[in-house]
Chains A and B, each alone.
Chain A
Amino acid sequence: MNSLHLRLSIALTLVISVFFAITGFMLDETYRRSLETALEERLQAQASALIAAASPRTDGGIELLKEIPIPAFSSPDSGLYGQILGPNGQVAWLSPSSGGTTQIAIHSMRLGEEHWQKHTQDKTPLATYDLGVSWDFPTGDPRVYTISVGEDLRTLASRLDEFRKLLWGALLGVTFALLVVHALILRWGLKPQRRAAEDLRAIENGEKDRLEGDYPRELRALTDNLNGLLRVEREHSTRYRHSLDDLAHSLKTPLAVLRAEMENAHEIANLNELVGDQIDRLSRQIDYQLRRAAGSGRTQLMGTVAVKEIANKVIAALKKVYAEKAIEFTLDADPDAGFHGDEDDLLEVLGNVLDNACIWCRKRIRVEARSVPDSGRRRSGLKILIRDDGPGIDATVQDQLAERGASAHPEHGHGIGLAMSRDIVNLYGGKLEADTCCETGGTCVTLSFPGLD
């Protein structure tokens, strides 16, 4: 399901409907039960009243001593019927409402026996209560009479119907009202998301350049990351543009030299060397600028690259290239030492620094990678140390490395690799430092990267 709104709507509608349906059914059932219980109690009470008012005759009949305090027994349309059966099962008394015919089915009860029933007599649905009772006779032998009271179920049915109409009508109304309210709440609740979508469209149209505004916590993860991405990508394109400008400038210079010399050239031999030199220079500049521009520097939404793995790759490659030098590499990396950024950038940095170490070292290169916890940040920082047993670092190279920014264009081969690595490391807010180790006398290059949230 692709719509958040639709998802929530359908879920809520279902839940509300089911809730109200269940509520309705429970209310219905409860009311029906209470009606039936009331009916049962009524019938029992009426039976008791009949017993109190009746007095048996010696011939087995029944005489009513006084007026039955239940007027319904007397009126023909009351729907309430009473009957008393004698010990031999014959009808001893019928209530006037019966109209002379037995309305209640004949069941003789034993003493103390009760019987509830619902049945239809002559198209009239009835609920009946039969009770077996006996009076004390002077002769002493107990005679069992059956007292029966019956009520027309249609009254109960009509009451239930009325209730049901009221109940379901009200519930439907409330459900509908609730659904309308929830639709409004959804609209209001999803408003920040609509606002974010509008802001994004504004960015696409070029009206804005970041997602401004106060977004709720849940959207913050998305909007903050998006803003980070936008910023980095913009910086990246700016850098590309600058690099291309620098490249164009630095290519034009050797080309201009060539042109001038060609016009000047007296000897072909000199020209050969000159052309060769300028070609080298052109090539170096192209490499440098393009590799610089390609550095991503993106930390947003990047996974963490295992430094150990990349270091091993570079070392394996360098072992092949410098096979004749038979260099001893030692790699000591924390298993959780990670680089939060582009894998290719790490390859480029390590490749350059290690290549440089291979050129200058005598026999041994040691690589150390440590995970450095950065307080307040979720992901740890990183520190990589590369030490070789060569002659140590040249002061001019050190100065060049210390220079910041685009002004440090190394013109000659020395140090170009380190300068490249420094530029990439800076993109990530890190630092590259090169020094001469006091113990071994060789060069020690330290790369440090900050932690990330």
Chain B
Amino acid sequence: MRVLLVEDEPRLRSYLEEQLRGQGCAVDAASDGEEGLYFGREHPFDVAIVDLGLPKLPGIELIRTLRSEGHKFPILILTAQGRWQEKVSGLEAGADDYLVKPFHFEELMARLNALVRRAAGWSQGTLKIGRIELDSVKQTVRIEDRPVSLTAFEYKALEYLMLHADRVISKTELTEHLYDQDFDRDSNVIEVFIGRLRRKIDPEGRLQPIETLRGRGYRFPMNPGGS
């Protein structure tokens, strides 16, 4: 998933960036409200993390502006105070969930996953399409009830494709919404990764869960099982 992170405390910001990338997320990090607004307008995000105590443009203003301009990606607010007045203000301005600092990274990741799931229209914790079942809470995959071990990137790629099932997703879109350190070296490496993913989830080539559409991209059909 592509995450917009708006946090002014530099150590916390770089820590979160690193952790999120380690989970296969593509991250755009802003250090103040104005930069956050600029990023929010420029790129397509799956979810945003906004700290409420921001310089230049306060978090709540940023959220309100983004919402009024039609940006619908879910927003999670980080608040230092536990006060309900702040939480309610943030949620009223357009946020979807909150986390009180300090927090455990796992908690943050779980909430982000839940928000992205909800936004894609999935209210359950598990995505099941055909014989492939994704547990979004535990971040695990089962093929025909057999658990499959994937890297963080591979899991996120599969999740992205499944959340947007039946939609053609270009290579560019995939590279924009996901992250792996190898991307910096070679942007065509996505083909290699998708190949690797296919081999892991469909070693015998029976299910054909990921279609390649020449020149256009990849698609996870709602009815996989060979064409």
Contacts and interface: CB of A to CB of B under 8 A. Distances in A.
Interface in B99-151: 100-102, 104, 114, 118, 123, 125
Given A323-B118, A324-B123, A326-B123, A351 B87 contact: yes
A42 to B, nearest CB: 93
B84 interface: yes
B86 to A, nearest CB: 10
Contact of B85 (A276, A323, A347): A347
19 contacts: A280-B102, A283-B102, A287-B82, A291-B82, A314-B84, A317-B91, A320-B91, A320-B96, A320-B97, A321-B96, A321-B97, A321-B98, A323-B96, A324-B125, A344-B85, A348-B83, A351-B84, A351-B87, A352-B84
B88 A317 contact: yes
A350 to B, nearest CB: 8
Interface of A: 276, 279-280, 283, 287, 290-291, 294, 313-314, 316-317, 320-321, 323-324, 326, 344, 347-348, 350-352
A343 B67 CA distance: 26
B118 A317 contact: no
Contacts, number: 53
A352 B88 CA distance: 12
Nearest to B104: A276
Contact of B91 (A276, A321, A352): A321
Contacts of A348: 83-85
B18 interface: no
A323 B119 CA distance: 11
A351 B100 CA distance: 14
A350 B83 CA distance: 11
Contacts of A344: 83, 85
B81 interface: yes
Contact of B88 (A283, A290, A326, A351): A351
Contact of A317 (B81, B92, B125): B92
B122 to A, nearest CB: 10
Given A276-B104, A280-B102, 10 more contacts: A279-B102, A291-B81, A314-B84, A317-B88, A320-B91, A321-B98, A324-B114, A347-B85, A348-B85, A352-B84
Contacts of B100: 283, 287
Nearest to B114: A324
A301 to B, nearest CB: 20
A115 to B, nearest CB: 95
A276 to B, nearest CB: 8
B56 to A, nearest CB: 26
A326 B92 CA distance: 18
Interface string B63-89: 000000000000000000111110110
Contacts of B84: 314, 347-348, 350-352
Contacts of B83: 291, 294, 344, 348
Contacts of A323: 96, 118, 123
A445 to B, nearest CB: 15
A283 B87 CA distance: 17
B118 A324 contact: yes
B34 to A, nearest CB: 26
A352 B97 CA distance: 16
Contact of A347 (B81, B88, B114): B88
A130 B139 CA distance: 130
A119 to B, nearest CB: 92
B60 to A, nearest CB: 13
A350 B114 CA distance: 25
Nearest to B97: A321
* Ranked 6 nearest A-B pairs via Cβ: A351-B84, A317-B91, A287-B82, A344-B85, A317-B88, A347-B84
A316 B91 contact: yes
B5 to A, nearest CB: 20
Nearest to A354: B84
A450 B24 CA distance: 56
Contacts of B114: 324
A320 B91 CA distance: 8
A418 to B, nearest CB: 13
Nearest to B122: A324
Nearest to B118: A323
Nearest to A284: B82
Nearest to B124: A324
Contacts of A290: 81
B155 to A, nearest CB: 20
Contacts of A320: 91, 95-97
Chain A CB count within 10 A is highest, among B84, B92, B104, for: B84
Contacts of A321: 91, 96-98
Contact of B92 (A283, A313, A324): A313
Contacts of A352: 84
Chain A CB count within 10 A is highest, among B81, B101, B114, for: B81
Nearest to A355: B84
A314 B88 contact: yes
A401 B3 CA distance: 41
B128 to A, nearest CB: 17
